[in-house]
Structure 1
Amino acid sequence: MSTTHYAAAAKPSGYAAPRFAGVREAFESNLRSGDDFGASVAVYHHGRMVVDLWGGARDTSGTPYPEDALHVGYSTTKGVMGLVLASLVDTGEVDLDAPVSAYWPDFGQAGKDGILVRELASHQAGLPAFEEPVAKSDLADWDGCVRRLARQAPAWRPGTRHGYHALTLGYLVGEVVRRATGKSVGTLLRERFAQDVDLQAWIGLPTCYNGRVVPYQDASPTPGIGAFMTRAAEAPDTLAHATFNNPVVTADLFDVPALWRPEIPAANGVFDARSLARLYSSLVHGPLRAVSPTTVDRVRRQQVHGPDEVLVDQPTRFGTVFELSSPRQPMLGPGSLGHDGLGGHLAFAHPESGIAFAFLTNRAVPDPTPHTRLWRLLSAVAAAL
């Protein structure tokens, strides 16, 4: 797709409080320049919505981007799973310092009996890829996936290194959640965060909403860091290859309704931007807070930081499930916790400033963030503060 096609998109619709008018200007600049095709951005400040914008085109036909657009969130889903886990830590239903096998006895096979929940939830378990062949359709088989991971030996000594568990993290953390509560991550998301609220956020999308999901427009790797990661994923006998090729992970992996209905809580959550920002408002002071400050500090405590065994060109920093602020993903600086998603999505909270932010786009950019369009938006939010 050409920049000319992107630039033809309409001006954004929606609302920005006067203090945050710069966010509207940044969002419009992204559409006008062609950095975005169709997108939405939402910001809450201490539990009050201050930005709710959408614009551009829904797809290559030029159909306007709709106000009620939903996006497959890819790895922003991990952050939503992190919110569910944080709520269970808050109530004492899950102990981050307990062995995973205390909740899920079968997981203790093949030298994994000593892995703690917080290690599992911070990409340290050594299970970034399925060892056995997995087809795209197999991702919908929850029991089959967790059985594979339970009997699998780790790729490194757990707790000594970390590597991005792109798809497997959802089954691993999700099974701990299921064993601890008897309920799935998607069920708990609706029960704990959507009661009495019109929350447009699901892990396991009801089929009646299929028509609102906006397809991703995939993009080719740039000559830079995105291309480097692409080459690494193509190299046989590497963890990057195993993680992103069993099955093949691309921006169109979840552009099929058959993979929206099952729960794949590392990758297939479906959201709108305003609901993602509202969810992250549960971590900051204000009327929407649902997770205690003590638990927020626990889950944003650094667990790992440095070279990643899977994302070979991208040092990563994680708390418990959540990405933390780093050069790769600065968000709003120290204290931020959230998660980005394949192609450019981003959602996070910054408790110190009271900001909860969400950006969803249908133009996939394979380079890791921060890319130009996010720099503009985040700089505008920071300036408003």
Structure 2
Amino acid sequence: MNASELEKSFQKNFTDRQELGASVSIWKDGEEVLSLAQGWCEREQERPWTQETLVPFYSTTKGLASATVLLLMHERGMTPEDLVCSVWPEFPVKKGTIGQLLSHQLGLAALDEKADVWDYDAVIAAIEKQQPNWQPGSAHGYHPRTFGFLLEELVRRMTGETLGDVWRKKIAEPLQLDAWIGLPESEFDRVARLYPGKQNKEDLESGFYRQLHTPDSLVKRAFSSPRGLHSVREMNEARAWQSGFPAMGGIGTARAVAKFYQAACGAIPFFPEAMMPWMQGMRSCGEDLILCTQTAFSCGFQLDPIDMVGRKVRHHYGLSRRAFGHPGAGGSQAFGDPDSGLSFCYLMNQMELSPLPGAKSLDMIRAMYL
């Protein structure tokens, strides 16, 4: 790892890319080898950003939530090949497996029935009535919002508890992680304020954003299902911090998320050996019907897609084909690389628009492998 180049890239985010506050944490073989924190928790510059600053990280939550589900499955002697209906009898895709659900293959990304994100029972009822958006198993498409409700219902059916409570009890507390899916009031004063990104012409001309702004498109419907909690302003409210939404409600430090991925890739012994292929093994790869680009997924985690001869199409998750992680809206990025023993997390509060990682984190990832 070239620490000097990595620190230069981190500083460039502030000098050239309008970063406000940010942290990066890198671990290798069970130890944190780099930790940088800089900037401010708000534009008024009232609170300096430190290594202990908490920030919402949107879909980076999905990796943490998926590991929670997989750990419960392992404890119950289940595998990703088990049917979702074995846990949730009312689930609409009767032959759909948990592995297919976690790898975004079952076509429940967009809901026909209107339901509010704050009305859990209404969202679950809408899911149970939903006809798949495509033939299950024939394709894959990212489930930006429904994914969390799908995982939450599995956990509630298995344990009677919320996913956020199980995450804290079984993973976060044993690993001593400053990361929550449902933040307690005692931690509110540590949370940085998020600021929305600005659209530019290049964003608006991309296939994804054209579809996102097309009324009734599958992409538009997926990012609106269920409705509510769409603005960054709402994500700065205590109600959102406490919500515990497993698709987008995580809050924590970069150090905590990077340490989680140390455990997930095996550099810190924690997860059962049988879970590792579930998190690292590719289950879907190709054109994503929602993100309108090539993506790949394991059981709940993103991987870099590969081409016809097995080469990585891009390097969002480092150099290894087995590396896996999950980005979050606005620029958050985290992953673990089992082959190198490295894990990485970058969190910030000045958001960008891309749903996939951008230069702020990718420049640092390149420096990790120098």
Q: Same fold (TM over 0.5)?
A: yes
Match of 1:87 in 2: 71
Match of 1:217 in 2: 195
Change (3 A) 1:34 1:207: same
**Residues 1-385 of structure 1: matches in 2 within 5 Å?**
20-63=3-46, 64-108=48-92, 112-134=93-115, 138-225=116-203, 227-228=205-206, 229-246=208-225, 247=227, 249-286=230-267, 288-312=268-292, 314-326=293-305, 327=313, 330-333=316-319, 334-383=321-370
Task: Give the drift of 1:359.
Answer: 0.6
The one-letter amino acid paired with 1:363 is Q
| Residue pair 2:23, 2:50 contacting (<8 A) in 1 also | no
The one-letter amino acid paired with 1:106 is E
| Equivalent-residue separation in structure 1 for 2:78 and 2:153 (angstroms) | 12
Task: Give the drift of 1:328.
Answer: 5.7
The one-letter amino acid paired with 1:295 is M
| Equivalent-residue separation in structure 2 for 1:196 and 1:302 (angstroms) | 28
RMSD across aligned positions (CA):
2.1
Task: Give the drift of 1:196.
Answer: 5.0
| Residue pair 1:221, 1:367 contacting (<8 A) in 2 also | no
Task: Give the drift of 1:307.
Answer: 1.4
Q: Which moved more, 1:81-90 or 1:237-246?
A: 81-90
How many equivalent pairs are there? 358
Change (3 A) 1:163 1:196: closer
Change (3 A) 1:252 1:239: farther
- 3-state DSSP of counterpart to 1:144: helix
| Residue pair 2:22, 2:39 contacting (<8 A) in 1 also | yes
Match of 2:310 in 1: none
The one-letter amino acid paired with 1:44 is W
Alignment gaps of 5+ in structure 1? 1-17
| Residue pair 2:104, 2:142 contacting (<8 A) in 1 also | yes
Task: Give the drift of 1:174.
Answer: 2.1
Q: Which moved more, 1:148-157 or 1:245-254?
A: 245-254
Alignment gaps of 5+ in structure 2? 306-312
- 3-state DSSP of counterpart to 2:117: helix
- 3-state DSSP of counterpart to 2:221: helix
| Equivalent-residue separation in structure 1 for 2:346 and 2:65 (angstroms) | 17
Identity of aligned residues (%): 28
